[in-house]
Structure 1
Amino acid sequence: MARIFDVVEHADEMRDEIVHRFPETGSGDFRIGSQVIVREAQSAVFFRDGKALDSFGPGRHTITTANIPLLIDLVGKAFGDRTPFTAEVYFVSMREFADEKWGTPQPILVRNPGMGLGVALLQGFGTYSFQISDPQQFVTQIVGATGAYATRDIHSRLRSMLLSKLQDLLGETTDAKNVADLIGLVEEMGAGVRAKAQDDFKAIGMTLKSFYIESLKPSDKSVEELRAMGMLDMDTYTRLQAADAMRDAAQNPAGGAGLTAGIGAGMGIGSAIQDALRQTGEGGADAPAGAPSAEGPPPVMTPSEAAAYLKVAEEDVIAAIKAGDIKAKKIGKAYRISREAIDDFLSG
């Protein structure tokens, strides 16, 4: 004989549990007069045959056809006070789930106008909090027939949603601001992500209560790590290795700032990606603006021309000259660099 549940409750505090199904498997037998006890910060949703019947807030509730009128339609007109019916009850935690972690698993490419190569790779991490706003919708859209559903079960989905909005916002913001300015706007950026993500959260019965960026900075991934992640082709990899060698040479005790200063820590990756983006937009037919022609660089270059050829900042070339890493002739206050000197530097 099937057991009829006269009292249904879930006394657990549900610290990490968002939803608990009663019974955990199959359906339970209930009848008119059965009691449903809903704790503070809980909501109880009755389901039958995959359809939500009704929801109950905190308190003790007695099941009647008045508070679950759909029972008559689903069970039939002959439904009586002692007639058992099958259903499932989903207890949903309505409290705010705070201090959830997020982070960028891979660097995010952003434009960096007016600085270095014009692009940068950013990584960040922080916390967010959420709350269930529509228990019926959340159970229907996300939980299904699962016996229990915890924060860890939805973490990956929420993180993907948030990172997508962060990437969109970074793309919009860096069109007008450089990365250095952007890093000082983490509070505004957090509010922007929260606003952008609300519709997506609402669609699954949730509210994003907060989104905080604790750190946002240029990536410190090495060239080898970025290549292993599939973010570098061989040409990019070779050029960045040369830039790293230039940086290391300029950082010796006799040297000044490295040639890749302001490009390193994730920024140097931008060169080839920038070229690829430009070629995609132009069909790959024309050489990038400011790049040397098919004949190569001129036999004698100014520091500015050498910087354009090497895809670095002019001040970095001058720093390498002063460090003795690039041979150049000084005429008055100006430097002139031979193409052979640049080739010797890159091959060294």
Structure 2
Amino acid sequence: MARIFDVVEYPNEMKDELVHRFPETGIADLRIGSQIIVRESQKVIFFRDGKALDEFGPGRHTIVTANIPKLIDLVGKAFNDRTPFTAEVYYVSMREFADQKWGTPQPIFVRNPGMGLGVALLQGFGNYSFQVKDAQQFVTQIVGANGIYRMADIEGRMRGMLLSKLQDILGETAATKSVAELIGLTEELGAGVRAKVQDDFAAIGLLLKSFYISNLKPSEKSAEELRAMGMLDMHTYTQLQAADALRDAARNEGGGAGLTAGIGAGMGIGNVISQSLSGMTGTSTGSQQGGSSQPIGNGTPDIMTPSEAAGVLRVSEEDIVAAIQAGEIKARKIGNAYRISKAALEEYLKG
């Protein structure tokens, strides 16, 4: 004989649970007079045949026909006060889930017209909080027949929605702001994400309470890592590879760190590389007598083979040839060989 539950409750604090079904497997046999105990931070939803029916807020409730009208209608005329009935009882946590973490698993690619390479590669992290707003909608659309639904089951989906909106907001803002200005607008950007994602959260019965950006900065990944992630075309990759090489060379020669700081965020790569080459060969980037600029890299040959140019940029010879064939580096072809002038290389580096 099926067990009839006279008292139904779930006293757990539900710190990492959003939904807990009673019982976890199967369905509950109830009757008129059964007690439903709902704690302050909970809501109870009755389900039957896959349909969300009656619900109870915090308190101690005695089941009578008046407070389960939808369930009674579904059971039909065969029901009477002595007849047990079956239902699925879902406890839903209505409390705020605070201090949830988010972070960018890979750099966010943002176009930044007129600034260096014209792109920004940004990484960030922060926290957010949310709560269930519509218990019936959340259980119906997300939880389904699961006996227990935890934070780990939903956090990946929420982070995906948040990062998608963050990328949209960064792209919109970068159209009128420099990267340096973007990094200083974390509060405004966070508010924008919060407003933009609310409809997506509401569609699954959730409410985003807060979204904070604790840190936003240019990516520190190398050009090689970014290329492997498919985030750079050949032209951008070659320029960033050269910048990485110059930074490393400057450190080795006592030039100090930070030579190319901000290049990953698209900040003035052409000027940085030119100045770096000049500084490494002992020349000045300032104005010279007669108003002309001193040529970059006096130690660099005036005419170079692709192999020699690759050595200057610290890339492969194949990368140089590919850039020549793409028309990105100007070169003369003699038979099957290419020759590149120092001026052409400097022009390429300036973008």
Partner in structure 1 of residue 85 of structure 2: 85
Please list the CA deviations of residues 231-258 of structure 1 after superposition, one character each: whole Å capped at 9, or x if unmatched: 3456654443333223333445465887
Once the two structures are TM-superposed, the CA of residue 53 in structure 1 deviates from its matched residue by 1.1
Which stretch has the larger CA shift, 316-325 or 60-69?
316-325
Once the two structures are TM-superposed, the CA of residue 116 in structure 1 deviates from its matched residue by 1.9
1:342–1:82 distance in 2 versus 1, CA, 3 Å? farther
Q: Indicate the SS of the match to 1:230.
A: coil
1:179 aligns with 2:157: no
Partner in structure 2 of residue 312 of structure 1: 269
Q: Indicate the SS of the match to 2:149.
A: strand
Partner in structure 1 of residue 342 of structure 2: none
Query: Superposition RMSD on alpha carbons, in Å?
Result: 2.7
Q: Indicate the SS of the match to 2:11.
A: coil
Partner in structure 1 of residue 105 of structure 2: 105
1:8–1:257 distance in 2 versus 1, CA, 3 Å? closer
- Written as runs of structure 1 = structure 2, the 5 A alignment for 1:245-324 is 245-253=245-253, 255=255, 260-263=260-263, 266-267=264-265, 312-314=269-271, 316-324=273-281
Once the two structures are TM-superposed, the CA of residue 259 in structure 1 deviates from its matched residue by 6.8
Q: In 2, distance between residues paired with 1:187 and 1:119?
A: 22
Partner in structure 1 of residue 345 of structure 2: none
Q: In 1, distance between residues paired with 2:176 and 2:232?
A: 27
Please list the CA deviations of residues 294-330 of structure 1 after superposition, one character each: whole Å capped at 9, or x if unmatched: xxxxxxxxxxxxxxxxx93335413421331789995
1:83–1:239 distance in 2 versus 1, CA, 3 Å? same
Partner in structure 2 of residue 36 of structure 1: 36
CA contact (8 A) 2:222 2:244 kept: no
**Which letter maps to 1:183?**
I
Partner in structure 2 of residue 55 of structure 1: 55
Partner in structure 1 of residue 240 of structure 2: 240
TM-score (norm 1): 0.80
1:332 aligns with 2:259: no
CA contact (8 A) 1:47 1:88 kept: yes
Please list the CA deviations of residues 14-59 of structure 1 after superposition, one character each: whole Å capped at 9, or x if unmatched: 1111110001111111111111000111000000011011110000
Unmatched runs of 5 consecutive residues or more in structure 2:
313-351
Q: In 1, distance between residues paired with 2:2 and 2:247?
A: 77
Q: In 2, distance between residues paired with 1:8 and 1:341?
A: 86
Once the two structures are TM-superposed, the CA of residue 229 in structure 1 deviates from its matched residue by 2.5
1:3 aligns with 2:3: yes
Q: In 1, distance between residues paired with 2:27 and 2:54?
A: 16
1:73–1:106 distance in 2 versus 1, CA, 3 Å? same
Once the two structures are TM-superposed, the CA of residue 113 in structure 1 deviates from its matched residue by 3.6
1:261–1:187 distance in 2 versus 1, CA, 3 Å? closer
CA contact (8 A) 2:246 2:273 kept: no
1:90–1:152 distance in 2 versus 1, CA, 3 Å? same
Partner in structure 2 of residue 218 of structure 1: 218
1:261–1:35 distance in 2 versus 1, CA, 3 Å? closer
TM-score (norm 2): 0.79
Partner in structure 2 of residue 14 of structure 1: 14
Q: In 2, distance between residues paired with 1:267 and 1:73?
A: 62
Once the two structures are TM-superposed, the CA of residue 224 in structure 1 deviates from its matched residue by 3.0
1:154 aligns with 2:154: yes
Percent identity reads 70
Q: In 2, distance between residues paired with 1:254 and 1:28?
A: 75
Please list the CA deviations of residues 168-203 of structure 1 after superposition, one character each: whole Å capped at 9, or x if unmatched: 100111111011011111111111111111111111
Please list the CA deviations of residues 73-108 of structure 1 after superposition, one character each: whole Å capped at 9, or x if unmatched: 211112111111111110011110001010111100
CA contact (8 A) 1:259 1:312 kept: no
1:143–1:315 distance in 2 versus 1, CA, 3 Å? closer
Once the two structures are TM-superposed, the CA of residue 112 in structure 1 deviates from its matched residue by 2.6
Q: In 2, distance between residues paired with 1:101 and 1:126?
A: 6
Partner in structure 2 of residue 303 of structure 1: none
CA contact (8 A) 1:47 1:87 kept: yes
Q: In 1, distance between residues paired with 2:176 and 2:85?
A: 62
Q: In 1, distance between residues paired with 2:132 and 2:254?
A: 61
**Which letter maps to 1:210?**
S
1:347 aligns with 2:311: yes
Q: In the comparison of the two structures, how many residue pairs are matched?
A: 305
